Amino acid sequence: MLYRETSTLKFLKKLKADGFKQRYETDVEFADNIHKIASLPFLEPTSVVEGFELLCSKFGDDYQPILDYIEDTYIDMSSSR
């Protein structure tokens, strides 16, 4: 559980560092979607890639840098294909 909490905190720090802090604090829909992304580590390991792909299909282009970071840092897409 500690790894999951640590990875979520690391992700939220990254958002702040990349300039998404104000949007996260003022845009309720954006914050809700960020919470969905941050919840991925709490899925069963076999469901993480599917959950990530579902979120990718639902979010617009403005989420792309965030999704790229998650994919590059936490998700090994090559193992699922």
- When pLDDT is cut at 50, 70 and 90, the band that residue 2 belongs to is very low
Predicted model pTM:
0.80
- When pLDDT is cut at 50, 70 and 90, the band that residue 74 belongs to is confident
Exposed / middle / buried, residue 37 (Cβ in 10 Å: 0-12, 13-18, 19+): buried
Span 14-23, pLDDT tens digits: 888 888 989 9
Q: State the pLDDT at residue 77.
A: 59
How many domains does the structure of the chain reveal? 1
How far, CA to CA in Å, does 29 sit from each of 10, 11, 48, 73? Answer: 21, 18, 22, 24
Mean pLDDT of 68-79: 78
Structural domain containing residue 9? 2-80
Span 35-44, pLDDT tens digits: 999 999 889 9
For residue 29 the two structure tokens come to 């829909």
State how far Cα 39 lies from the chain centre.
7
How far, CA to CA in Å, does 81 sit from each of 49, 51, 59, 70, 77? Answer: 10, 15, 22, 17, 7
